[in-house]
Amino acid sequence: MKTNIYKKIFSLALMAMPLTAAAQTTLCTFDADDYGALSVFDSWDDSPFVTGALQGNVAVVSNPAPNEGNSTAKVLGVQRSRFGSNKFGAKIRLKTPFELTTATRYVHVLINKPVAGRVMLIGLGKRDNRAAQSDQVEQFWALSTVPAAVGQWYDAVFAVKGNGGISISSLVVVPDCESSHALADDFIAYIDEIEIGDTPEPRFRASDLSTNATATSARSTICRISVTARNGDVLKADGSVLSGASVPSGQPLTIWMQPAPGFRQNGISVRHGHLSGDSLVNGIPQWKTVQVPANLFRKNRYTLPASYMDGDVEITAEFAEKKSTSSAANRVPNLNNAASAYTMVWHDEFDAANGTPADTTKWGRCPRQSATWSRLLSDVAEVCFQQNGHLVLRAIPNRDTSKDNAAMLTGGVQSRGKFSFLHGRIECRALVHPHEGNFPAIWLMPEDHSDGWPACGEIDIMEQINTENRAYHTVHTHWTYTLGHRNDAAPKTSFNGTVDMSQYHTYALEWTKDSLFWFVDGTPTGFYGREPAHATQKQWPYDKAFYIILNQSVGDGTWASSPDLAHTYEMNVDWVRVYRKNEADNISGLQTQTPQHVQVD
Partner 1 sequence: MLKNYKLLAASLVAGFPLCLWAQLTPVQQTYTYPKNAPAPVFPVPSERQMAWQETEFYAFFHYGMNTFRNNQNGGDNEWGYGNEPETDYAPTKLPDCRQWIKAVKAAGMKGGIAVVKHHDGFCLWPTATTTHSVSRSGGVGPKVDVPRLFSKACEREGMKYGFYVSPWDRNSASYAQPEYVKDVFLKQVSELAKYGSDQFEMWFDGANGGDGYYGGANETRSIDAATYYDMPNLADSVHKLQPNCVIWGGFEARWVGNEAGYAPITNWAATTEDGWKWCAAEADTKATNQGWFWNDGETPYTPERLYRMYLETVGRNATFILNVPPNKAGVLPDASVSALKGMGDLIKARLTADLATAATVSASASRANFGAANLTDGDKNSYWATDDGQNTATLTLTWSTPQTAHYVMLQEFIRKGQRVKAFSIETSADGITFTPRATDQCTTIGYKRIVPLNGSTSDYGTGFPVKAIRISITDSKACPLLHTVSVF
Number of residues located near partner 1, criterion CB under 8 A: 97
535 binds partner 1 (CB under 8 A): no
End-to-end CA distance of the chain: 88
* Cβ atoms 349, 296 nearer than 8 A: no
Across-strand partners of 247? 223
- Residue 40 CB, nearest approach to partner 1 (Å): 11
Site residues for partner 1, 168-207, by CB under 8 A, read: 177-182, 185-188, 190
Instruction: For residue 516, give the nearest of 490, 445, 524, 335 by alpha carbon.
Output: 524
| 42: amino acid identity, one letter | D
Interface pick for partner 1 out of 19, 294, 341, 406 (rule CB under 8 A): 341
With H, G, I as helix, E, B as strand and everything else as coil, classify residue 382: helix
- Residue 122 CB, nearest approach to partner 1 (Å): 11
Site residues for partner 1, 569-598, by CB under 8 A, read: 581, 583-585, 588
For 201-355, strand residue ranges (E) read: 222-228, 232-236, 246-248, 253-259, 263-273, 280-281, 284-285, 287-292, 301-304, 312-321, 342-348
Instruction: For residue 56, give the nearest of 33, 40, 67, 38 by alpha carbon.
Output: 40
Interface pick for partner 1 out of 12, 18, 32, 44 (rule CB under 8 A): 44
- Residue 23 CB, nearest approach to partner 1 (Å): 21
261 binds partner 1 (CB under 8 A): yes
Interface pick for partner 1 out of 243, 374, 494, 568 (rule CB under 8 A): 243
Helices (H), 146-269: 214-217
- Residue 227 CB, nearest approach to partner 1 (Å): 7
Interface pick for partner 1 out of 238, 321, 351, 448 (rule CB under 8 A): 321
* Cβ atoms 442, 412 nearer than 8 A: no
- Residue 567 CB, nearest approach to partner 1 (Å): 32
* Cβ atoms 242, 227 nearer than 8 A: yes
83 binds partner 1 (CB under 8 A): yes
Of 139 and 561, the one with the shorter C-beta distance to partner 1 is 139
Which range of residues in 133-141, 207-215, 249-257, 343-351 is near partner 1 by CB under 8 A?
Answer: 133-141
469 binds partner 1 (CB under 8 A): no
2 binds partner 1 (CB under 8 A): no
Interface pick for partner 1 out of 38, 92, 111, 166 (rule CB under 8 A): 166
Of 177 and 576, the one with the shorter C-beta distance to partner 1 is 177
With H, G, I as helix, E, B as strand and everything else as coil, classify residue 249: coil
Of 180 and 398, the one with the shorter C-beta distance to partner 1 is 180
- Determine the Cα–Cα distance for residues 171 and 191; give it in Å rounded to an integer: 12
- Residue 331 CB, nearest approach to partner 1 (Å): 9
Helices (H) and strands (E) in the chain, counts: 3, 37
Residue 492: exposed, middle, or buried by beta-carbon count in 10 A (0-12, 13-18, 19+)? middle
Of 240 and 438, the one with the shorter C-beta distance to partner 1 is 240
- Residue 110 CB, nearest approach to partner 1 (Å): 14
Site residues for partner 1, 269-288, by CB under 8 A, read: 276
- Determine the Cα–Cα distance for residues 28 and 601; give it in Å rounded to an integer: 92
* Cβ atoms 192, 76 nearer than 8 A: yes
Sign of the C-alpha dihedral computed for residues 113, 119, 120 and 121 taken in this order? positive
Across-strand partners of 515? 529
Instruction: For residue 233, give the nearest of 263, 253, 270 by alpha carbon.
Output: 263
Site residues for partner 1, 48-77, by CB under 8 A, read: 48, 51, 53-55, 57-59, 61-65, 75, 77
Site residues for partner 1, 475-534, by CB under 8 A, read: 512-515, 517, 522-524, 527
Residue 409 C-alpha from the chain's centroid: 47
Of 68 and 574, the one with the shorter C-beta distance to partner 1 is 68
293 binds partner 1 (CB under 8 A): no
* Cβ atoms 501, 512 nearer than 8 A: no
33 binds partner 1 (CB under 8 A): no
557 binds partner 1 (CB under 8 A): no
Interface pick for partner 1 out of 26, 29, 70, 86 (rule CB under 8 A): 86
Of 48 and 397, the one with the shorter C-beta distance to partner 1 is 48
601 binds partner 1 (CB under 8 A): no
Give Cβ neighbours of residue 519 (< 8 Å, ≥ 6 apart). Answer: 336, 506, 507, 508, 509, 510, 525
- Residue 524 CB, nearest approach to partner 1 (Å): 5
Of 321 and 448, the one with the shorter C-beta distance to partner 1 is 321
314 binds partner 1 (CB under 8 A): no
121 binds partner 1 (CB under 8 A): no
Interface pick for partner 1 out of 163, 214, 254, 592 (rule CB under 8 A): 163
Instruction: For residue 522, give the nearest of 260, 345, 274 by alpha carbon.
Output: 260
- Residue 60 CB, nearest approach to partner 1 (Å): 9
Of 375 and 492, the one with the shorter C-beta distance to partner 1 is 492
Of 522 and 563, the one with the shorter C-beta distance to partner 1 is 522
85 binds partner 1 (CB under 8 A): yes
Instruction: For residue 200, give the nearest of 108, 289, 125, 266 by alpha carbon.
Output: 108
Rg, C-alpha atoms of the chain: 35
14 binds partner 1 (CB under 8 A): no
Of 124 and 441, the one with the shorter C-beta distance to partner 1 is 124
Give Cβ neighbours of residue 235 (< 8 Å, ≥ 6 apart). Answer: 241, 242, 255, 256, 257, 258, 340
Of 326 and 592, the one with the shorter C-beta distance to partner 1 is 326
Of 187 and 481, the one with the shorter C-beta distance to partner 1 is 187
- Residue 81 CB, nearest approach to partner 1 (Å): 7
Of 324 and 599, the one with the shorter C-beta distance to partner 1 is 324
How many CA atoms does the CB half-sphere of 20 hold within 13 Å? 3
